[in-house]
Structure 1
Amino acid sequence: MLKTHGFAAQNAHTPLAPFSFERRDPGPNDIQIKILFCGVCHSDLHQTRDEWGFSRFPMVPGHEIIGTVTAIGNVVTGFSIGQTVGVGCLVDSCRVCPDCKDNLEQFCNAPTFTYNSEDKISGGNTYGGYSSQIVVDQHFVLRISDKLDPAAAAPLLCAGITTYSPLRHWQISKGDKVGIVGLGGLGHMGVKLARAMGAHVVLFTSSASKVDDAKRLGAHEIVISKDTDAMQQHLLSFDFILNTVAAVHNLDSYTELLKRDGTLCLVGIPDQPHPSPSVGNLIFKRRQIAGSLIGGIKETQEMLDFCAEHHIVSDIEIIPIQKINEAYERMLLSDVKYRFVIDLASLDANV
């Protein structure tokens, strides 16, 4: 067993603190990874505070992992010691269901998440990337191009694939008019990716202070969503709108902006249901409201390669692990542009 150091929440009411535990020794199909950087996702906060009601403690969060390979099993192919790799939200799945066979492991009925999940091998909890190392089956390990800055690439493993997957599924391409609702960790990636795909990108925000940043990130137009007249100017004009906002709000103000057969796709999960949308807004123009969840391993690798080709990474603020509880409080205030990333070298101070 591999002695591992990290930070964990012992229950939903205590701050994250130093925690030591053991990882399994690498098996024939496994890759052992020294973690260099781990992105901080808002879902980490939700789960450490048990806001979704299925948290397992102690909990070591983190599913936006970048590291270097330190050991490989004897049947591992395509990876080598010293290689830069990534691990996202999944570390296992059943491999045999229709979703897994379609390379859509995120929809598997028995997925193993990188943390806060049952470890099918040990029977205990899976522990995530706020730690010194991890051991993962090779199928769920991703190759990171040397064209990508490793720290800024970490959020691609969740924020990147969460926005890339729906844009690809709805076949966004040159000439499409795409709306991005919200300019946070997800929204800023949506703007960058949609722009790189050739779309005309419109950013919707409730904050006028984000206009300049949205332009810098690649938005062609910015609409203040509280401005009714500005919203009305875009009626019946969008092919696709990606809604990244996790707060409860009225969806009708966006569905009415869609063309016939347009789609409003939700990737933010609010703590309460959105108000029921107008059926008329949907049926009279054959519009749809849909949802999307990260992406499968094959698509995540495709996303990483696309980002390397187009020089796309997340805008980040690097923090030491000792600042994680402060970072959580700042996330609640939207006081980050646009993703915290932990430098795991800082763990040495607690060893």
Structure 2
Amino acid sequence: MSSTTEQKVMRAQQYDARDNKLHLNEVPVPEPREHEILVKIGCASLCHSDVMLFEPNDQGLILGKNPVTIGHEGTGRVVSTGSGAVASKFKKGDPVGFICAVDCCFECYACKNVHNAWCKTGETKMQGFSADGYFAEYAVVDAREAMVLPENLDPKSSAPLFCAGVTAYHGIADCQLPSGSWVAVIGCGGLGHMGIQYAKAMGHKVIGIDITDAAIEEAKSCGADYTFNSMIDKDYQKKIVELTGGGVHAAVNFTASKKSYDACPAIVKAGEGTIMVVGIPQQPLEFNALDIALGRYLVKGSSNGTCYNMKEAIEFSAKHNIKPHMTAFKLEEVPKMVELMNSHKAQGRMGVIFE
């Protein structure tokens, strides 16, 4: 398929490290390489890790080019493809979703079993950080990282599934719990509100924990069986232990709060519980070595998305009609979205819907 589009320039929200701000710039429409597809973006949504660009952190976010188009959650329709066999599997007009790793091999042990970030080539870039992302009218994506959307998923609203959805799904599923288990979802916002939906669809009993009334209401609307505002209810840990008969089987933490991680061991069932690390605080986490050595709880992580585990999460979402609660904005309003996220005033996910 031809790798050209009539439009030669486009608008893009780009982060500039020189002033630590976003700028709505006019940039060339990219052309797909042999293994890539060019997508007209239908929806791009904001993730907390996008906001980490603006703040000091020691958790491994690497800025490559500068300025860089931000955003790593996107869906849209194929405009054109590169000439390679993997790209040619897509056709013009296909509704697609995709994830953000590029320039990795996709074939080494790390790519297939851990995460593309640890590809043996050492060349991996993440769109939205070290390569241009999706808060733009068009984007090129690696065809190996893309899939055609199931029929009941709309490319104008499904972008959050391709980070928040895949991450939240595996944050719950990778706990490997039998149906009927107690799951605490810590942080009921952009990721957590989806985690609650996945946990309920898997048959678990769900406790939502957050620090804002808006997030607590979001948790209830997503089906949480019980909710606690940990800022207001100082006895919430004791109540959870009593409610669950000794503690939850998994505490899945979707927040960027170290304090919330510090509070996890007190609500996990001794000898049977897992603390699932999903959210990434600025500071390193601390766990008691004796607790871990004696098996009081297990600390695990969950891959936030590769082409090998993406499809399972998206198909589960479509089958169970799990959809993100998303507030729509315009491209020029992305700085406002960042402000709302930083002030904890956002509910669910925030996204740009393109015409």
SS at structure 1 position matched to 2:156: helix
Percent identity of paired positions between Structure 1 and Structure 2: 27
Hey, what does 1:312 align to over in structure 2? 322
Question: How far apart are the structure 2 equivalents of 1:250 and 1:95?
Answer: 34
Hey, what does 1:348 align to over in structure 2? none
- Pairing partner for 2:101 from 65, 85, 90: 90
> Counterparts in 2 of 1:48-59, with a 5 A limit?
48=54, 51=57, 54-56=62-64, 57-59=66-68
Q: How far 1:250 moved relative to its partner?
A: 5.5
Q: How far 1:207 moved relative to its partner?
A: 3.3
Q: Establish whether residue 333 from structure 1 lines up as the match of residue 343 from structure 2.
A: yes
SS at structure 1 position matched to 2:49: helix
For these two proteins, the number of residue pairs brought into alignment is 336
RMSD: 2.4
SS at structure 1 position matched to 2:329: strand
CA contact 2:209–2:216 (8 Å) conserved in 1: no
Question: How far apart are the structure 2 equivalents of 1:291 and 1:214?
Answer: 23
CA contact 1:10–1:59 (8 Å) conserved in 2: yes
CA contact 2:247–2:268 (8 Å) conserved in 1: yes
Hey, what does 1:60 align to over in structure 2? 69
> Counterparts in 2 of 1:113-262, with a 5 A limit?
113-117=126-130, 126-226=131-231, 227-235=233-241, 236-249=246-259, 251-259=261-269, 260-262=271-273
Question: How far apart are the structure 2 equivalents of 1:162 and 1:68?
Answer: 23
Structure 1: gaps of 5 or more residues: 118-125, 346-351
SS at structure 1 position matched to 2:129: coil
Q: How far 1:48 moved relative to its partner?
A: 4.8
Question: How far apart are the structure 1 equivalents of 2:140 and 2:146?
Answer: 10
Hey, what does 1:36 align to over in structure 2? 42
Structure 2: gaps of 5 or more residues: none
CA contact 1:203–1:214 (8 Å) conserved in 2: yes
CA contact 1:104–1:297 (8 Å) conserved in 2: no
CA contact 1:159–1:186 (8 Å) conserved in 2: yes
Q: How far 1:192 moved relative to its partner?
A: 1.0
CA contact 1:191–1:217 (8 Å) conserved in 2: yes
**CA 1:258–1:44: 2 relative to 1, 3 Å:** same
Question: How far apart are the structure 2 equivalents of 1:133 and 1:93?
Answer: 22
Q: Establish whether residue 15 from structure 1 lines up as the match of residue 21 from structure 2.
A: yes
CA contact 1:99–1:107 (8 Å) conserved in 2: yes
Q: How far 1:205 moved relative to its partner?
A: 1.9
CA contact 1:23–1:135 (8 Å) conserved in 2: no
Q: Establish whether residue 267 from structure 1 lines up as the match of residue 249 from structure 2.
A: no
**CA 1:288–1:323: 2 relative to 1, 3 Å:** same
Alignment-mate amino acid for residue 322 of structure 2: I
Provide Cα deviations, 1:41-64, integer angstroms capped at 9, x if missing partner. 122222255656732411110111
Question: How far apart are the structure 1 equivalents of 2:223 and 2:117?
Answer: 29
Provide Cα deviations, 1:162-191, integer angstroms capped at 9, x if missing partner. 111232222234112111001111111111
